[in-house]
Amino acid sequence: EECILAAYDKSSVKCPNHGDVSLAHIAPDTMFLDLGERHLIRPHSLVRGKLLGRGAFGFVFKGTCRVRGSNDTIQVAMKMLQPVQPGPNASQSAIIAYKGAQGKWDRDPLQYASKAYCTARQELNILLTLRHPHIVPLVGVCTRPLALVLDLAPFGALDATLRHYRRTGATLSPYTLQAIILQVAKAIEYLHQQHIIYRDLKSENVLVWSIPPPFHDHLEVPVHIKLADYGISRLTLPSGTKGFGGTEGFMAPEIMRYNGEEEYTEKVDCFSFGMFIYELLTLHQPFESHESVKECILEGGRPPLTHRETAYPTYMLDLMVLCWCQQPRDSLPHLHAGLDGAVLV
C-alpha cells in the first residue's frame, strides 16, 4: 500500500537499509509497467479538456491523446480515478464534489490511493480482454493523474439522448428501439461468453456514436451504441458469483434478496436488460419517484406502462416481460433471438 501511494507522485521510495529504491524495480505493477508500452500512456501525451460528467468513481473529462510514434492526436474520454480540479467553468455541484473527494484523500491518502488503484485494476482486468464493436475500447491508462483513457463517444451517454427525446415530446421509433436493443444484447451476450457479468446495465452506461435525433428519418442516421463502465462487472465461475452491486430499479431480485451474499449467475443481466428496455420505451427510469423499490421488486411489482408504450410492437413488450420476470429467466441469446429476424411494418 505504501508503494501504491508513492507511485502517484514519486518514482522511488526510501529504504532504511538501501536508501532510495526505484518503484519500477521493486513494485512495477504499482506504476502499471506490467501493461507494457502499448497500454501505458505518458502524462505529456494527454491534454485534458472540458468536464463531461461524473460518477461514483470521479470525473470524466474530454481530452486529446497523442498517437504513439506520430504527431497525430485522437479524441478520448479520461475517466479520472483520483480527485482533480474540475476546471474554471465547472458547476458548483462539481466543485463541491471535487472538494469532498479531495478532503477524503487528504484525511486518509493510503486508503483512497489503494482503493483507486484497485478500481483501475478491476476495470483493466476486464477491458484488456474485450474486443467487440459494441463495447467501448480501452486506449490505455495514465498514472499521473490516475486515469483510464477510452474512446470518446461523440454524443455522450444514452440517458442524455432519452431526456432530449422526452423534452421534445418525441419517442424512439420502433426501428431505433430495435437497433439499440440488438446492439446492447450482443454486447452483453459477448461479455457472458467471456464469463463476465456486467451487473449495471442502464442507459447511463450506454454511449452513443450515432442515433437519429427526435422526429428524424431513421434511414438517414444509423444507430451505433457501445457499452461502457466495467467498474462493478465481475468475472464469474460456472457456479456463479457473489457480491452486492448495481443500481436500484435495475438490480435483479436474487441480488437484493440476499444482499449479494448468495451466488447468482449472468441471468441478473437479463433482468437489468428488461428494465433497460423499459427506459427506452418510456424515456423514464423504472420506479421513478417510488419510495420502496426493493420491496416492490421482491414482491413481483414492475413499473407501469401507458397506452403510448403498449403501441410498440408486441414482441418488444414480450421481450421486456420475459427479461424482468421474477424467476427463472432464460439466457439472453434465447431471449433476443427473435429480434434479429424481426421485420417492422
Instruction: Count Cα atoms within 13 angstroms, Cβ side, for 289.
Output: 2
Distance CA 302, CA 106 (A): 43
Q: Which residues contact 205 (CB under 8 A, 6 or more apart)?
A: 157, 227, 228, 229
Domain boundary among 151, 166, 186: 151
Q: What are 84-116's pLDDT values in tens digits?
A: 999 888 899 999 999 999 999 999 999 999 999
Query: Taking the model in full, what pTM does it have?
Result: 0.88
CATH of the domain at 174: 1.10.510.10
User: Quick one: cell of 99?
Assistant: 472538494
Residue 227 to residue 220: CA distance in whole angstroms: 23
pLDDT in tens, 122-177: 889 889 989 999 999 999 999 999 999 999 999 999 999 999 999 999 999 999 99
Same domain, 212 and 114: no
Q: Are 178 and 79 contained in the same domain?
A: no
Task: Report DSSP letters for 96-154, one per residue.
Answer: HHHHHHHHHHHH-HHHHHHHHHHHHHHHHHHHTT---TTBPPEEEEEETTEEEEEEPPT
- Res 236 pLDDT > 70: no
Q: What is the amino acid identity at position 224?
A: H
Does one domain contain both 319 and 186? yes
pLDDT score for 318: 92
Q: How far apart are CA 59 and CA 172, in angstroms?
A: 29
Q: Are residues 181 and 212 in the same domain?
A: yes
Residue 158 or residue 221, greater confidence: 158
> Are residues 161 and 141 located together in one domain of the fold?
no
The pLDDT score that the predictor gives to residue 231 is 63
Spatial separation of the C-alpha atoms in residues 288 and 49, rounded to whole Å: 33
Same domain for 189 and 327, yes or no, is: yes
Read off the CATH number of the domain in which 68 is found. 3.30.200.20
All three cell numbers of 145, joined, read: 493523474
- pLDDT score at 345: 38
Mean pLDDT of 272-283: 96
The rounded mean pLDDT for the chain is: 87
- Assess whether 135 and 178 both reside in one domain: no
Q: Grid coordinates 438517414 are at which residue?
A: 220
Residues 139 and 211 in one domain: no
Domain boundary among 130, 151, 172: 151
The domain boundary, picked from 151, 167, 200, lies at 151
* Cell digits of residue 13: 521510495
How many structural domains does the chain have? Answer: 2
Residues above pLDDT 70, as percent of the chain: 90
| Tally of residues, the chain | 345
Cα separations (Å) of 297 from 40, 222, 249?
Answer: 43, 35, 8
Position with higher pLDDT, 20 vs 332: 20
Question: The cell 475500447 sits on which residue?
Answer: 137
Min mean pLDDT across 102-106, 184-188, 226-230 is at: 226-230
Domain that holds residue 314: 156-344
User: Does the active-site annotation cover 29?
Assistant: no
Task: Check whether residue 102 and residue 180 sit in a common domain.
Answer: no
Rounded to 5°, the CA angle 17-20-21 comes to 90
* C-alpha grid cell, residue 16: 532504511
Catalytic site residue from 34, 106, 159, 200: 200
pLDDT of residue 218: 66
Q: How far apart are CA 337 and CA 162, in angstroms?
A: 25
pLDDT for 330 = 63
Q: Measured between alpha carbons, how far is 229 from 235 in angstroms, rounded to an integer?
A: 14
- What is the 8-class DSSP label of residue 248? T
> Is 118 in the same domain as 189?
no
Place 277 in a pLDDT band, splitting at 50, 70 and 90. Answer: very high
Q: Is 226 annotated as a binding residue?
A: no
Confidence (pLDDT) at 249: 87
Q: Do 146 and 169 share a structural domain?
A: no
Q: Are residues 297 and 210 in the same domain?
A: yes
